[in-house]
Amino acid sequence: MNEILDMLARHGALFLFVIVFIDQMGLPVPAVPFLMAAGVLAGAGKLNLSVLLVLSTIGSLVADLIWFYLGRNYGTRILSFLCRISLEPDSCVRQTQDVFSRHGMKALVGGKFVPGLATIIPPLAGIVGISLPRFFAYDGLGSLLYTGVFLFIGFLFSHQLEPILMALGQMGHWALWLVVALLAAYICWKYLQRQRVLRELRIARISVDELRRMQEANEAVFVVDLRSELDLQENPTLIAGALHFNPKEMDTRHQEIPRDRDVVLYCSCPNEATAARTALLLRRRGITRVRPLAGGIDAWRERAYPLDPFLVSVASGNQA
């Protein structure tokens, strides 16, 4: 631990730049403790607060610009990648899409303080076509507030926090191992939580080939699109004959789902997580002939099966 504190004291601004950059890239290295520790050292006169603020803000902004351009160039595929590596499958991306849809660019500012949102909002901004100057202005403000708040907390309370920081330093390697153990415990807990969620979502799927055969045979099948508004904006097409529903409204609108035929749900998320969760909800509401579509709309497109333009959905009543 002494080595980390010495490194922070000697190369504080550059070290903080790297830590904040890694944190905003989505790796499990929390920047907040380091920001506060740097603020404490600045309050003790060992570091320059202005330089710390500038470089840590730049570190956050650089990471966000990388995600912004990845979102602009790769679209929702980058969200699928984030969802696959996330310790919370699908839910983090879906919740962030909802937040961004409701609050727009304000989410770039406030999202910095919400775990899970900070990494996903920048690529979303790139996906929906936000201009670079506008993104730079809002994200720059969010990065400045995020790093500044925790730096100033450490700076203002440096007299109270410095003894704690020094005590951790005196513990030497034990303090470092304690931090590592806590971080490892957190990652293990989130991983086990992820596995539990995936086990719950193990519900029988229907393949795109099977669904297409049912359609060609004119069998009664009710197909539901559960994608977010942002997904629909980027790819405004539905599987032929499908209707769009907002998953959040399904619990109150399940009466609109027919009980006398097969129901197929699809989304554009790894593990068909949204479709599987919704299928389990509908089963609890008495709709037993319901299955998620394996591979979702991406698998349907890969087979070049028919698509309908998303104009006005009778089920959702929204216009794309």
Residue 248 — very low, low, confident or very high, per pLDDT cuts 50/70/90? confident
* Gyration radius of the chain over CA positions: 24
CATH of the domain at 284: 3.40.250.10
Q: Which of 52, 29, 55 is nearest to 41 (CA)?
A: 52
Residue 61 — very low, low, confident or very high, per pLDDT cuts 50/70/90? very high
Residues 245 and 98 in one domain: no
Residues 90 and 146 in one domain: yes
Residues 134 and 253 in one domain: no
176, 200, 224 - which closes a domain:
200
Q: Give the DSSP letter of residue 293.
A: B
Residue 124: other Cβ atoms inside 10 A = 27
What's the rounded Cα separation, in Å, for the pair 37 and 52? 11
- Domain limits at 285? 208-309
Give the DSSP H or E segment for 266.
strand 262-266
Residues 84 and 214 in one domain: no
Sheet containing 243-244: which strands, arranged edge to edge? 243-244, 221-225, 262-266, 290-292
Residues 227 and 161 in one domain: no
177, 200, 223 - which closes a domain:
200
- 263-316: per-residue pLDDT in tens? 999 988 766 778 888 888 898 888 889 999 998 898 999 999 999 998 644 344
Averaged pLDDT for residues 229-249: 86
Residues 126 and 241 in one domain: no
Q: Which of 261, 221, 259 is nearest to 243 (CA)?
A: 221
Residues 265 and 152 in one domain: no
The count of structural domains within the chain is 2
The model's pTM is 0.63
184, 200, 216 - which closes a domain:
200
Q: Is there a domain that residue 183 lies in?
A: yes
Residues 22 and 142 in one domain: yes
